[in-house]
Amino acid sequence: MKCPKCKDSALHAKQMDEQFAAQECERCGGDWILVEDFVQWRENNPGFEFAKNVDVEEDEILDSQNALLCPRTGTFMRKFRIAAQNAHRLDYSAAVGGIWLDNGEWELLKKEGIAGQLNEILTNKWQQAVRESMSKEQFALIYSRKFGETDYQKVRDIRGWIDSHPAKADLRAYLFAEDPYSAER
Ligand SMILES: [Zn+2]
C-alpha cells in the first residue's frame, strides 16, 4: 500500500505507542489506522489513557487540505473535524474503515485528550457536537464584536445572574417593561 499523501512512498507496519497496529509512511510521517484494529485494542484495554503531556507545536502538525485517496480502494476519503477549538481534520475511508492521520495529528489527539476515542470522532454524535460548539463560538464572536468585550462580559454576567435567580420571570418582566412602575404594560 502506498501513502495517500506522498503517493509513491510505501507504508510500513508499526505499533502506535506500542498499543495497536498501524502503518506509517516514513517519508511524511503519516499513519494509516484501521478502525477495527483500534476498536479491538480499545475493548481489550478499556482503562488505558494516552498521556496528554505531548510536546508538539501547532505549526509542526500537518493537515492535508486537499482530498486524499484511500490507499486501498483509490476512492476519495472524507474529512472529519476532530474538535471545535482547532481546524484539524482526519481523513476517513468508509469503504475499508481506515483513518489517515497526517504527521503530528496523533500527537494532537493525545494533547486534546481524545486519542483514546479515535473511533468516536467518526460518529454523527461527535460531529454534531463539534458543529454545535462551533456555532456557539461564532455567536460569541458576533456578540463580542457587537457589544465590545467589556459590555459583552457584563451582559453575560447579568444574564447568568437572572437565569439562576428564583424570581427570574419577575426580574425579566421588570427589566423589559417600558415603565415597571406603572400598571400599564
Ligand atoms: Zn507519505
pLDDT by residue for the chain (185 residues), tens only, comes to: 999 999 999 999 999 999 999 999 999 999 999 999 999 999 999 999 999 988 887 777 878 778 999 999 999 999 999 998 888 899 999 999 999 999 999 999 999 999 999 999 999 999 999 999 989 888 999 999 999 999 999 999 999 999 999 999 999 999 999 899 987 65
Bridge partners of 12?
Answer: 24
Report the domain count for the chain. Answer: 2
Instruction: Kindly give the distance from the C-alpha atom of residue 70 to the centroid of ligand 1, in angstroms, as a whole number.
Output: 13
Shared domain for 93 and 139, answered yes or no, is no
- 4 found inside a domain: no
CA 106 to chain CA mean position, Å:
13
Global confidence as pTM: 0.77
Shared domain for 95 and 23, answered yes or no, is yes
Q: Which domain holds residue 137?
A: 129-176
**Nearest alpha carbon to residue 15 among 42, 1, 33, 40:** 33
Instruction: Kindly give the distance from the C-alpha atom of residue 101 to the centroid of ligand 1, in angstroms, as a whole number.
Output: 10
* CB neighbour burial string for 51-61, b if at least 16 within 10 angstroms, e if fewer: eeeeeeeeeeb
**Rounded CA separation 160/171 (Å):** 12
What residues contact 29, with CB distance under 8 A and at least 6 apart? 62, 103, 104
Instruction: Kindly give the distance from the C-alpha atom of residue 31 to the centroid of ligand 1, in angstroms, as a whole number.
Output: 9
- 32 found inside a domain: yes
Shared domain for 114 and 134, answered yes or no, is no
